[in-house]
Amino acid sequence: MSDKIIKRDYFKLFSGKDSDIPILKWGLNATIGLHDGGLCNISKLKVQEHKGLYLPPKDYYSCEQLPKEWIDVIKERKDADLNGRR
């Protein structure tokens, strides 16, 4: 492990007191490690145009939040029904 990794441990205890077997107890232990990978140059990312949108490859991932302007547009947009109409 590196000192650059932020590590978080979580433990949740579950009880079977509400079930047919009240003596049952079990726990779930999880450890999550976060690492700042720094900035990534995406200037040469190959995108495909689709109906006016530019989409990255399927394996591209970013955990950066969407810009506030995008969130505002999403909030203002009406939900489409199942037939694709607005």
Residue 42 lies in a domain: no
Residue 24 is assigned to a structural domain of this protein: yes
Contact (Cβ atoms closer than 8 angstroms) between residue 24 and residue 7: no
60 in a structural domain:
yes
Asked if residue 83 is part of any domain, the answer here is no
In this prediction, residue 47 carries a pLDDT of 92
In a domain, 81, yes or no: no
Residue 41 falls within a domain, yes or no?
A: no
| pTM across the whole model | 0.34
d(CA 42, CA 35): 19
Which range marks the domain in which residue 9 is found? 5-36+53-76
CA-to-CA distance for 40 and 60, rounded, in angstroms?
12
Report how many domains make up the chain. 1
The model's pLDDT over 29-80, given as tens digits with 9 standing for 90+, comes to: 998 888 777 777 888 889 999 988 888 898 888 777 778 888 888 888 776 5
Any domain includes 48: no
In a domain? residue 57: yes
